[in-house]
Amino acid sequence: MHEMSLAEGVRGIVEETVAAQGLRAVKAIVLEIGELSSVEPDALAFCLEAVLRDTVAEGARIEIERIAGAGWCLECDRTVPLAQRYDACPNCGGYRVQPTAGTEMRVRELEAD
């Protein structure tokens, strides 16, 4: 389960931000997770609950915003929606589609005291 290592990375970002800005407690963590990122949001939320225990972010609300998948079709020469990696282009049926959105995962925002 790679979500545990991702959760530990999020904890590191939170701890660095708290230390750098002199914050006391984190109330919420807002994450952006792309639909093509191979990250299971429920598993990540579960792992975050575990790794944030006994930190300034213990009990923080975890908000996950999904980013839609999109790709550039080399056949159609345009951006198309993608539900999964390696899907065919919904316009031409070709498989020469490069993902351009939905592969990311980032901490977008922290709400803290």
**Domains of the chain as residue ranges with CATH:** 3-68+102-112 (3.30.2320.50)
Asked if residue 92 has pLDDT above 90, the reply is yes
pLDDT of residue 1: 57
Rounded CA-CA distance 35/104 in Å is 8
Query: What mean pLDDT is predicted for residues 47-58?
Result: 96
Confidence of residue 74 (pLDDT cuts 50, 70, 90): very high
Closest of 66, 43, 55, 46 to residue 12, by C-alpha: 55
The DSSP bridge partners found for residue 1 are: none
Asked if residue 46 has pLDDT above 70, the reply is yes
pTM over 0.85: yes
pLDDT of residue 101: 97
